Amino acid sequence: MTRSGTSDLYPTRGAGAAATLIPREHPTVWPSAYTGPASDGDLVMHDCNGYLKLPDLLTAGEVADHWDELGRLCTDPRVRADERTIVEPGSEDVRSIFEVHRLSDAVAELARDPRVAGRARQVLGSEVYLHQSRINYMPGFDGKGFYWHSDFETWHAEDGMPTPRAVSISIALTDNHAYNGGLMVLPSSHRVFASCAGETPDGHHEESLRSQQVGTPDRDTLRALTHRHGIDQFTGPAGSALMFDSNLVHGSGNNITPHPRSNIFLVFNSVENPLDEPYAAGRPRPEWVASRDATPLR
Amino acid sequence: MTRSGTSDLYPTRGAGAAATLIPREHPTVWPSAYTGPASDGDLVMHDCNGYLKLPDLLTAGEVADHWDELGRLCTDPRVRADERTIVEPGSEDVRSIFEVHRLSDAVAELARDPRVAGRARQVLGSEVYLHQSRINYMPGFDGKGFYWHSDFETWHAEDGMPTPRAVSISIALTDNHAYNGGLMVLPSSHRVFASCAGETPDGHHEESLRSQQVGTPDRDTLRALTHRHGIDQFTGPAGSALMFDSNLVHGSGNNITPHPRSNIFLVFNSVENPLDEPYAAGRPRPEWVASRDATPLR
């Protein structure tokens, strides 16, 4: 069952869907009584560009602890056999481990940390919960990237997230160089919704978490967005982070260097924006990809 | 027929070949009576690092002319049908056009230009001829890179080039950003010969010009080379160029940005280093990949 009617401000996919750019109706930074780590200037930048670089979010010691934790998770046979662990297309290397805050106390604690959840509350102007968490491990030599996409497009179509009142924080556990598959963003692309053509195949996430085919903007849209604001690449040492709007178009190239690229990826959704039925998919994705428990994070 | 005996200073591939690092016996910059565009400092840098960045080698007008020429070649049905035109793996986009100096008077003239051939003579200390020429066109959105390799390893194994007395000049026809698949080099890697395991399949070039499988250093070698000197990436505006030693290990990632990446690639070999029988392949590659006409370029 899918629904995509006149009341849907962000129609995408489905029968007859065409690739178009739809102005975004909702704010990026919501009116908020929360004070916290982000300055007013930070919030203006985040609103304008759709993302904010956070240098030195973690200390070197914290990075080392989380790196060790990643190593334990990747080599734990129970974790490797878990459906929440996604391997690289064409190999058995771990690409991502989802719902990692339930597998790791350290990650659960990090998500609650005021440096992290505090910024999310400031931006979203409400209590927040974890919509998704994962560790991404892009191996060296043969690491595959992610093609351009807006996360919100997928979360709306496949998870039933009503509005783009969600924000992601990606925390680097390895140095992000320009040449090892670092995240590229299209600045200000979060201000339009890039509606996508094509229908969602049943069980799409089983493939899309490895290599996304549906729910990616078409080439004319990408040319237009890039022409207007260019491309920015997130580089920086381990411990730095990128906060970005759920509707920001982003992607990454592959990684043939010997340097792996790893990050902890935490998605905060407003408790006032709980998931509904998918807007353009037959059935919701599993809980471990998109939580339906909107209990506020404390 | 292959030959790889005790007299071969750069053994690679073949039965029982193992990946090892062999010190290079030959100079990078040869004793030379030629004066020319490269300064003494340039030559020292080239000798030390194995490459030299040449900003503003071409004027904007020259870039525009060559870009137009590339467009004509890529859309000419006779060129597209020519065996010297290589298409991308998985699509029909042009990836490279070989022996382009015979297809284009403009490229032939560029190869003879003192800014180009003059530098090659200075470095190689002799008259030079064109071992190979090509235009590379890495399309946007879905451009595939080249995995790490030393050109000389292939030219020695498959073309019978006796020693690394050859130099390449890659001239950018589009802006090279950090994020659109720009060339990465391993500085100073030209000082060792990374011998490769594996045997050369018959007709290897038919596949290797699209996606190389044999003749690439192993992962331990790449880690060791990278650990010692890091990775440098060639970025710069259209018209800039990179001159690099035939034995420098280099590679490039893929390109998901809308910005194509194109360059003219000219390989100069010393007339005192003419091709012999392949050192580790059944039969030599075609003339359009590796010229056997060592007539000096004038």
ipTM: 0.89
Chain A's closest residue to B221, CA to CA, is A258
Distance from CA of B143 to the nearest CA of A (A): 10
At residue B152, the 3 state secondary structure works out as helix
Q: Using one digit for the tens of pLDDT, what is the confidence trace for A235-274?
A: 999 999 999 999 999 999 999 999 999 999 999 999 999 9
Sequence-ordered alpha helix ranges (H) in B125-164: 151-159
**Parallel, antiparallel or unpaired: strands A94-98 and A183-185:** unpaired
In the sheet that B128-138 helps form, which strands lie side by side, from edge to edge? B51-54, B241-245, B166-172, B261-270, B128-138, B94-98, B85-87
Which one of A145, A179, A223 has the shortest CB-CB distance to B258? Answer: A223
Contact B229, B51 (CB under 8 A): no
Mean pLDDT for all residues in chain B: 92
At residue A126, the 3 state secondary structure works out as coil
> Residue A147 is inside which H or E element, if any?
none
The answer to whether the CB atoms of A226 and B258 lie below 8 A apart is: yes
Distance from CA of A179 to the nearest CA of B (A): 7
Cβ partners under 8 Å of residue B56, min gap 6: B239, B240
pLDDT tier, B212 (very low <50, low <70, confident <90, very high otherwise): low
Q: Would you state the structure tokens that stand for residue A29, as one six-digit string?
A: 């930074």
Q: How many CA atoms, within 13 angstroms, populate the side-chain half-sphere of residue B277?
A: 10
Q: How is chain A split into domains, by residue range? A: 41-270
Q: Using one digit for the tens of pLDDT, what is the confidence trace for B147-166?
A: 999 999 999 999 999 999 99
Q: From CA A163, how far away is CA A10, in angstroms rounded?
A: 8
In chain B, what residues touch A222 (CB-CB under 8 Å)?
A: 141, 258
In chain B, what residues touch A178 (CB-CB under 8 Å)?
A: 178-179, 233
Domain B41-270 CATH class label: mainly beta
The answer to whether the CB atoms of B256 and A258 lie below 8 A apart is: no
The answer to whether the CB atoms of A141 and B231 lie below 8 A apart is: no
Q: Look up the pTM and report it.
A: 0.91
* Alpha-carbon torsion angle A134, A138, A139, A141, nearest 10: 170
User: Mean of the pLDDT values across residues A195-223?
Assistant: 84
Which one of A147, A255, A256 has the shortest CB-CB distance to B148? Answer: A256
Residue carrying the six token digits 């990374």: B194
The answer to whether the CB atoms of B141 and A222 lie below 8 A apart is: yes
Q: From CA A117, how far away is CA A99, in angstroms rounded?
A: 16
Using CB atoms and an 8 Å cut-off, which of residues 159-188 of chain B contact chain A?
Answer: 177-179, 181, 184
Which one of A253, A255, A258 has the shortest CB-CB distance to B179? Answer: A253
Cβ partners under 8 Å of residue A276, min gap 6: A160, A161, A162
Q: Using one digit for the tens of pLDDT, what is the confidence trace for B187-204?
A: 999 999 999 988 888 888
Q: Would you state the structure tokens that stand for residue A154, as one six-digit string?
A: 């997928």
Q: From CA A122, how far away is CA A109, in angstroms rounded?
A: 19
pLDDT tier, B2 (very low <50, low <70, confident <90, very high otherwise): very low
pLDDT tier, A211 (very low <50, low <70, confident <90, very high otherwise): low
Chain A's closest residue to B222, CA to CA, is A258
The answer to whether the CB atoms of A141 and B226 lie below 8 A apart is: no
> What is the pLDDT at residue B69?
94
Window from B172-176, B197-201, B242-246 with minimum mean pLDDT: B197-201
Q: Which amino acid is at A283?
A: R
